[in-house]
Structure 1
Amino acid sequence: MLLPDNRKSVKHLNAFLEEVKLMARLDHPRIVKFIGVAWDSLSDLCVLTKFMEGGDLRRLLDNYEAQNFPVGFNETKVTIALHVAHALTYLHSLDPPVLHRDLKSRNILLNANLDARLADFGISREHEGDTMTAGVGTSRWMAPEVMMGERYDEKADMFSLGVVLSELDLHCLPYSHAVEDNNPSRKLPNPKFCMNSALESKRRRGKTRCTSHDFGGYSIFVSETCNITDRFMYSAEMFKGFDYVIMEEYLDIGCNNLIRTSVYPASGTCEKTSVDGSTSDIVSLYANGTAVILLFDNGDCGSEPSLGFVLDSDEVSSGHCIQGRHKFYSNSPVSSSGSTGKVSAYESASGIGIVTSTSTPSITGGTIVGIVAGVVAVVALLGFAALRWRNRRRGDMSYKDSGIPVLASSYAGYPTPASALDSITLASESSYSQEDTTEPRTLTNLWEDEIIITARVPREKVYLGELISRGAYGEVYAGFFNDERVAIKILLPEMRKSVKHVNAFLTEVKMMATLNHERIVQFIGVAWDSLIDLCVLSEYMEGGDLRSLLTTYEELNFPVGFDRSKARIALHVAHALTYLHSLSTPVLHRDLKSKNILLTGTLDAKLTDFGVSRERADFTMTGGIGTSRWMAPEVMMGERYDDKADIFSFGIVLSELDQHVLPYANAKENMESSRSMPGTAILQLVAMGKLQIEFSPAVPESIVALGMACVAVDPNDRPTAAGVLYKLHTILEREL
């Protein structure tokens, strides 16, 4: 929950909701699971996430240090690092990539087995190539390019991961062992403020910077030392040609009763705040409008500041009340190329470091590259190290990840931010290509559809059993409804948060609900309590799918060719296609393949999976729909197609029934080579009509002729579904 003081701020509420929206679209085993968001009013807005009983990594490392736990790496530490690398790989492989921007040990949570998950996405954002907010994150873990206010990308997270690796090793906070060169007994101050003094004081439009010498070595207290009514005009005249920051101090909370106004030259160097030198300051003002103000009571800029502020351009320019008693103004306009940030002001009562000098050596580009390259190399070795430790162990593993599958391609099935954003707003989105203008555009249309409402059944009466199969978008379970065995199809968890996929799922439901034929898997109903548990109930087919049967045939060396059982399966599929194509508006299946032909215990076949099916209309339909090895050339080429595309796929299925293997499995690169032909080459040759299916010598000539007619390159040369049905009837009666 937000702190009580922040619940009344629209700015903080908006930031909180942005974090909620980001968390809701992320779905990965190495990211803390988002459960939901709840509120009765804005004042009690709260976010629910998975409870991690192991606490955060920082707490674990503190315990290690207190107990004098050996430094270095063991299997547990490497596993934690590997889990974080998995999370970052997922985030960075999204389109566009998501940057965490505050990776540190405190934001790595652990379960009881010390499995790690990444948390706290309060300042995360999608990286789209723009220069992002400078200075965002926690200073000790911050990459140099972020400190410098330069353009940065996901490599900033990798720098932070490298810092976390050092924490895992030594157990203490980053840089806690660092000491000053001229005083080995004294630790270096907090790098947040070291960074600010190390940054080159950036000039606006070539003007010279103000220094302590220009103002007699100290800042000006306008309202306290001078009888000045217009402090802003006086400051502008006094500091003409220089950058400065005005700080107003108030007596009462809420910025009431002004006490004094101080003007600080924004030189980025240590300046005296009083004539006697008892107090001093370091004030920096950057091109994007961000300001850093550090005040020192003892006059020593090498000590810890008594008060510190890091302000974004909005807080500096609009006179917001900061910490209840301060307002700030500056004379420096925000650069048109600058980006403003959301950095809160804070008071350094303890633990806040200092700026030491103006001569801090700069960090070179080569150093930064070396740091980043080193971190990436270490991350790449984490999986190998974990694998070696795992091979040494006996018994069960204490963590779930195996090997090092951290490539971006491993997460191609996860939702992208662009699609998952809709899970929160349920905004109207086009769910299909521009050509598919007849499809419903919003969830609202489908939820209110009479067919879907009529087909709805109570969710509490649906019981999930074992997993039967898993596809690119959904899973099918065996289960029960009203004590009847059913098949239950649900979307994959990462797909449930996308309006596009939920829309497509409901469109499939509507299609299934309107079909009624003995050779099409019977639709029973649809159930939901919310979007995340939407499920479709259909007839349970105990014989599994045809692809599984043919794989078993191949493993058992079942004779190739056609018998009555295979011919009956083909006949049943032809019945289903004839029904679909003969409807008043023909329905194209568009994904006919052996996996989508289900069987009963007696091998009666029924057609299923209408996820990409649609009614035929008189315009070019979506190209590339279907599964590639069963796809007609005109579909591959993105050309106009009709029900003859299903007939081509049926011809492919006939070849599978004959030889039991996947289509074109016997295709070779050339006559001399034994290497199988790559899939891309197969598709190209099929599209050009240079590669066709094959049949074994054991197949009746009539089946071969039918199959080859079905896969004719020219759709006009293919038979209709009714023609196929008639031919198969004839073959069964006369030849088999």
Structure 2
Amino acid sequence: MTAAATGVQLVRDGGACDSNGVCWSTCCSLRQNVCISNESSSFVADNATVACLVDPPTATNPSYAPDVSQNETFYISVGVGAAVSIAVLVVFLWRATRAAATDKHVDMSSTDVATIHGSDRPPVRLQRHGATALTFSDADKQILDPYRLDSSKLELKVLLATGGYGTVWRGQYDGAVVAVKVLFDGRKSAAGVSKFIAEVALLATLVNPYVVSFVGASWTTVESLALVVEYMDLGDLYDYLRTHSAVEFSWTAKRRCAADIVRGLVYLHDRNIIHRDVKSRNVLLDTVKPSKLSDFGVSREISSKTMSQEVGTYLWTAPEILRGDRYTVSADIYSLGVLLGELDSHQPPFYNVTIEDGGPMLGVSIMMRVMQNQLHVDVSPQCPPRIASLIDLCTGHGPAQRPTAAQVLGALEAWVVDTVRGNDLDLCRT
């Protein structure tokens, strides 16, 4: 089956998409070095996706292509039925692979420091030397200038995390402890910086106890642009779940954490903002402060152009988004349900899903089963019934089947009331 027949055309070239004229001219938009187009006029399938990958193509020899026998016709017919779904999955999986690779190999030149992960070192001033081809537009300056911090007062001290876009540091600003997000050199293209500025602009408008607080932005040049937010001393929920047992992190504490997360979503959804990346990695914890939502690099206000291909971590992604539908707040609720499953298991989503020989199921198979309503979030025998019920409701296959964030919060708060009154048996399980 040809790529066109599946609705996917991979346009590969040696240069990065943001600097490659061939790739750019073929595709209508740039998303994390993937040029994506929904124009179908040039292809066999409707809603075709064009992914411009930065890797050179691997040469193939057509002489090795087998003839299609009559016995294979049935399997090809079945494959055609799944072609459109596979077209959507190609971009998701390729993006996830590149993000994972970046997590393992950190380009430390992006921060002008050499340090061991999590180790203290002498403070480094956040600035870069040398000329840069990038400059801020007047529109960028209008967005950033009201939030500009004095870069001479900002210090990077401890590397906390690395991801697909850059690094997060514990630092100090004017004596106060802060978290600092810095882009990798490879992300410091015009498109990368524009996305970073959009995150600054959005965070600056969010003031809520359950959303990480915005401090400001710092730069000496375009390439040294950094986002500064409040510091949460327990790190993210993903790591916390994997370093603490169910006894250490009881359901009494988990319930508070879940309610904090949902309060953050209620705030966002009331403002017509979709987070679009709700997962344990994007929930921050603290010994004193409530749990908070973080990482708004992919959040968007609701609009008709909010398309699924731009973002998504597939294990937490709603089935309609995997199919290529438009994001709605209901997609956040599905991701919340998956996150509640993490609170139960202390493991990544679908960690226990295996194939016939007992090996782990591949991501593409998990995605296909989620899309077809054949795979759901399991709960343990120790999971409180109210959480199990919320997981089931939040991960309903259709968006209309899922509750709102306000309804989920109401259920969690009712649980608290019942516990205070002594009418609740759920916590006896912990």
Query: What's 1:696 paired with?
Result: 380
Deviation at 1:652, TM superposition (A): 0.4
1:183-194 equivalent positions in 2, closer than 5 A? none
Counterpart for residue 352 of structure 2 = 666
Report the counterpart of residue 578 of structure 1 in structure 2: 266
* Equivalent AA in structure 1 for residue 275 of structure 2: H
- Aligned with residue 448 of structure 1, among 106, 129, 141: 141
Structure 1: give runs of 5+ residues left out of the alignment.
1-94, 99-124, 130-154, 156-408, 416-422, 428-442
Q: 1:544, 1:600 within 8 Å by CA — same for their partners in 2?
A: yes
Q: Which residue of 2 aligns with 1:719?
A: 403
Deviation of the 1:486 alpha carbon: 0.4
Q: Residue in 2 aligned with 1:537? A: 228
By how many angstroms is 1:128 displaced? 7.6
Letter in 2 for 1:455: Y
**1:493 to partner: Cα distance:** 2.0
Q: Structure 1 residue 96: deviation in Å?
A: 3.3
- What SS does structure 2 have at the residue aligned with 1:514? coil
Indicate how the Cα distance of structure 1 residues 647 and 411 shifts in structure 2: closer, same or farther if over 3 A, else same: closer
Question: Is 1:640 paired with 2:307?
Answer: no
Task: Write the mapping of 1:46-57 to structure 2, written as runs, cut at 5 A.
Answer: none
Q: Write the distance in 1 (CA, Å) between the matches of 2:285 and 2:194.
A: 28
Call closer, same or farther: CA 1:685–1:588 in 2, change over 3 Å.
same
Q: CA deviation at 1:641?
A: 2.8
CA shift digits 1:115-165 (9 cap, x unpaired): xxxxxxxxxx98989xxxxxxxxxxxxxxxxxxxxxxxxx9xxxxxxxxxx
Does the 8 Å contact 2:262/2:408 carry over to 1?
A: yes
Check the 8 A contact 2:169/2:180 in 1, yes or no. yes
Indicate whether 1:685 and 2:369 are aligned.
Answer: yes
Post-superposition Cα deviations, 1:159-217, rounded to whole Å, max 9, x if no partner, equal xxxxxxxxxxxxxxxxxxxxxxxxxxxxxxxxxxxxxxxxxxxxxxxxxxxxxxxxxxx
Report percent identity of matched pairs: 34
Cα distance in structure 2, aligned partners of 1:425 and 1:723:
49
Q: Does 1:675 align with 2:359?
A: yes
Alignment of 1:235-274 (within 5 A): none
The separation in 2 between residues aligned to 1:487 and 1:493, in whole angstroms, is 19
Q: d(CA) in 2 for partners of 1:446 and 1:515?
A: 20
The 2-side partners of 1:632 and 1:642 are apart by: 10
Distance 1:410 1:536, change over 3 A: closer
For residues 708 and 410 of structure 1, the distance between their equivalents in structure 2, rounded to whole angstroms, comes to: 33
Aligned length: 309
1:448 partner SS? helix
Instruction: Report the alpha carbon displacement of residue 495 of structure 1 after superposing the two structures with TM.
Output: 1.4
Aligned-residue offset at 1:619: 4.5
Task: Provide closer, same or farther for how the CA distance between residues 518 and 411 of structure 1 changes in structure 2, counting only shifts above 3 A.
Answer: closer
Q: Which residue of 2 aligns with 1:208?
A: none
Distance across 2 between alignment mates of 1:410 and 1:702: 38
- 1:336 aligns with none
Higher relative contact order structure (alpha carbons within 8 Å, sequence separation ≥ 6): 2
The change in CA–CA distance for 1:688 and 1:561 in structure 2 (over 3 A counts) is farther
Cα distance in 1 for partners of 2:211, 2:336 equals 15
Where 1:478 maps in the other structure, the secondary structure is strand
Relative to 1, partners in 2 of residues 1:506 and 1:127: Cα closer, same or farther, differing over 3 Å?
closer
Candidates 165, 168, 175, aligned match of 1:483: 175
- Give the residue type in structure 2 aligned to 1:487: A
| Alpha-carbon distance in structure 1 between the residues aligned to 2:240 and 2:389 | 24
3-state DSSP of counterpart to 1:516: coil
Structure 1 pair 128–725 and aligned structure 2 pair: CA distance change class (3 A): closer
CA RMSD of aligned residues (A): 3.0
Q: What is the TM-score with the length of structure 2 in the denominator?
A: 0.67
Q: Deviations over 1:306-353 (max 9, x none)?
A: xxxxxxxxxxxxxxxxxxxxxxxxxxxxxxxxxxxxxxxxxxxxxxxx
Q: Quote how far apart the aligned CAs of 1:445 are.
A: 5.2
Structure 1 segments of 4 or more deviating over 3 A?
125-129, 409-415, 423-427, 557-562
Aligned equivalents of 2:401 and 2:101: distance in 1? 42
Structure 2 residue 241 is the aligned partner of structure 1 residue 569: no
Say whether residues 1:499 and 2:190 are aligned partners.
yes
Give the match's secondary structure for 2:177. Answer: strand
Is this contact kept in 2: 1:446–1:507, CA < 8 A?
no
TM-score (norm 1): 0.40
| Aligned residue in 2 for 1:508 | 199
Select the structure that is richer in helix. Answer: 2
Partner residue, 1:31? none
| Distance in 1 between residues matched to 2:102 and 2:386, nearest whole Å | 46
Matches within 5 A, 1:243-642: 426=134, 443-444=136-137, 446-450=139-143, 452-496=144-188, 498-553=189-244, 557-559=245-247, 563-583=251-271, 586-602=272-288, 604-623=290-309, 625-642=311-328
In structure 2, C-alpha distance between the alignment counterparts of 1:663 and 1:411, rounded to whole Å: 21
Q: Aligned to 2:185, what secondary structure does the other structure show?
A: coil
Q: Which residue of 2 aligns with 1:732?
A: 416
Q: What letter is aligned with 2:326?
A: R
- Whether the 8 Å contact between 1:446 and 1:503 is mirrored in structure 2 is no
| Equivalent position SS for 2:377 | coil
Is the 1:508–1:610 Cα contact (8 Å) retained in structure 2? yes
Given residue 650 of structure 1, which amino acid in structure 2 is its aligned partner? L
Q: Give runs of aligned pairs for residues 44-193 of structure 1, distance below 5 A.
A: 96-97=13-14
Q: CA deviation at 1:97?
A: 2.5
Shift of 1:579: 0.3
Matched residue type, 1:447: D
User: Do the aligned partners of residues 414 and 603 (structure 1) sit closer, same or farther apart at CA in structure 2, a change above 3 Å counting?
Assistant: closer
Kindly indicate whether the alpha-carbon contact (under 8 Å) linking 1:562 and 1:658 is maintained by their aligned counterparts in 2. no
CA–CA distance in structure 1, aligned partners of residues 385 and 176 of structure 2: 44
Report if aligned partners of 1:560, 1:698 keep a CA contact under 8 Å in 2: no
Q: Is the 8 A contact 2:209 2:290 kept in 1?
A: no
- Counterpart amino acid of 1:533? S
The worse-fitting range, judged by mean Cα deviation, of 617-626 and 512-521 is: 617-626
Aligned residue type for 1:661: Q
Are the counterparts in 1 of residues 308 and 322 from structure 2 also a CA contact under 8 Å?
A: no
Q: What letter corresponds to residue 522 of structure 1 in structure 2? A: S
Q: 2: CA distance between counterparts of 1:702 and 1:662?
A: 21
